[in-house]
A and B are shown apart, each in its own frame.
Chain A
Amino acid sequence: MITVQGITKKFGDITAVNNISFSIREGEITGLLGPNGAGKTTTLRMLTCYLKPDDGAISVGRYNVDDSPVEVRKIIGYLPESAPVYGDMLAYDYLAYIAEVRGIQDKNRIDEIADLCGINEVMHMGVGELSKGYKQRLGLAQSMIHNPDILILDEPTSGLDPNQIIEIRNLIREIGKKKTVILSTHILPEVEATCDRVIIIDHGTIVADDRTENLQSMSGGERLVLVSVSGPDFRTLSGEIAGLPGVTRVEEVPGGELVTARVAAAGTADVRPELFRLAGAKNWTLYELTQEQRSLERVFRDLTGGGAK
């Protein structure tokens, strides 16, 4: 659906985006994650043809962004970071204007989209008078009014209260069932809650690109499995486990009556079947065997150098 090949964007001496490539399939919710100033917004702005890449190519659907920006914009719905800022307009007039520019003839569409985004009760109010939450919903309504195939959302939940965040996330999840959604954020739980796939950007380059669950389970190139058994002591257990193929490390997890160990395995190897067979062969009672979900926060910190650069 979207293919990005080696795009670079510089602002004077600053390289905001440096030779990044990725592709996004249809019907995927992709999170663009990175610390502030990592190049997320610049990347999204290039996807929406607001900015031109200095180098590289982007194709959206069957269109090239350079050659057919207007065609690309027709199939994309975009919620900019600071939208909407038509402070003096009424919410209804704002949507009517967007509908007119997009050539939407059906007047009922405005009411439909207002219904979907839950902004019916504020349609008569000035955009400047709306709360941050309603402004964001109005921006979402604007981005979806033409029923686009691709929805690009730049920090869709920034500045919202926890209830509004949950509502917007649910809305994005709902939309993501039928559309391709790309959202940028620096809030990790947002990605965990909404995205199928994560692209982590830092200093204008991609540092990770994988499915959310893979990133959560991978820990610096290794998978972690928690195993609890009764029967052996930790020394025996770790000695036996260390002999299994792919196992790089066995740590004791203290506490409880059972013997619990955290087993690290290299790469993508899954040691759980081996552990299960080992417990059976040694006649140990297996109480727990789970792959540890490492929070994205840790992955993010590891990959972006603590996130405080």
Chain B
Amino acid sequence: MSAQPAPLESVAAVHPLKRLWESGPSGWNHALTRPVVLIPFFIFAALVPLGLQYVEDNSSWTDAQFWTLILANCAMYACLAVALNLVVGYAGLLNLGFIAFFGIGSYAYALVASDQLHQHYPLWTALLVVMAVTLAFALLVGVPALRLRGDYLAIVTLGFGLIMRDVILDLDRPPVLAGHQFGPDTLNLTGGTNGIHQVDPFNLPSSLPLIGPVPHFRMYYWIFIGFLALSVYCVLRWRNSRTGRAWVAIRDDELAARAMGVNTFKYRLLAFATSAVMAGVVGMIDAAFIFNAFPGNFDVQQTVTIFIMVILGGLGSIPGAILGAIAFTVPPFLLQQFVFYKYLVVSIVLIAVMVFRPEGLLGTVSIRPRKTMGGTLELLTAESAVEASELPAVTDTEVADLEAAAGAIVEDPEWKV
């Protein structure tokens, strides 16, 4: 057994950009997530509103605020897309009630920073409250639901999102159970269909050294960009750590992950809860930004929209998620007259991407149909053929039983040998 021959590579042969192009999506992803790309990107993003202001001051163009608002919205969705990418792209968990956590964050903040309950907590206290409340809900849903298999988890989270919306709409009066009213007649927790108004913005200086006065919309653009940078940093660090490896292992092959000592339930919960809390904090910033918390924050269409951002950009790709966010926030703003068709377009694009190119633009997760590698060969060499009388498995333990019994890999992405 001799050593492999030294690679024959002539240094001058391939231009680095060409090599980058040929390395495909995972190569592009790797390149785009390096600090040498990300840091300038965020610096540039931070300078954009100042640039816009400069252009406005020195010409007859007057849309700096309009564009900054669009970009703030875009940044907000980018934060949400990055959080969703963590739970769906890395850990492979379909959280179809994702937007509910955004809504919970916005309402939690609104309740402690407005006249609804006459509470006006300062920023950091409110942040702690929002994170705690969101975490509590995430555990409430996650602990029972994350023991279930993927499709069941999906529908349970879908149901959760729906229920939360209904509850929020119904809590503008005291709840009545079996004839007993809980709370005084005047109890109005959530403002029902109107939501909560006059939410306090964060207590921040209205002008910064060197830059001068900072209008509200610009300040919040920076807050969103800042949170985006923080999220991207954390998510990338996690991906390259023991936690991230465990997540991807669970997504790729849960049985093997368990065989390697990964407590799959714990790591699913970590991914689920982390992404939920991130969404909650974004909700809090949003409530402070627009001074309101609306029940529309819980609409399932929003979840699907963020899904399309992540899918189009590519599951598992952070730059992809940001691109996806841009793709689905900027055009709708510019094409206001077509906003009625927004969800129609979103759903058609989602279906098209899933059918023709499920890995999206920069995706690193292969969810394409596999060629029949698994399948018959494994059935023939399997030890026992007992699935016929087995139940359709619902929990993961039972799936493991069946999988093990068949010796088959249930989820088997395309192998490229």
Do the two chains bind? no
**Which residues in B have some Cβ–Cβ distance to A below 8 Å?**
none
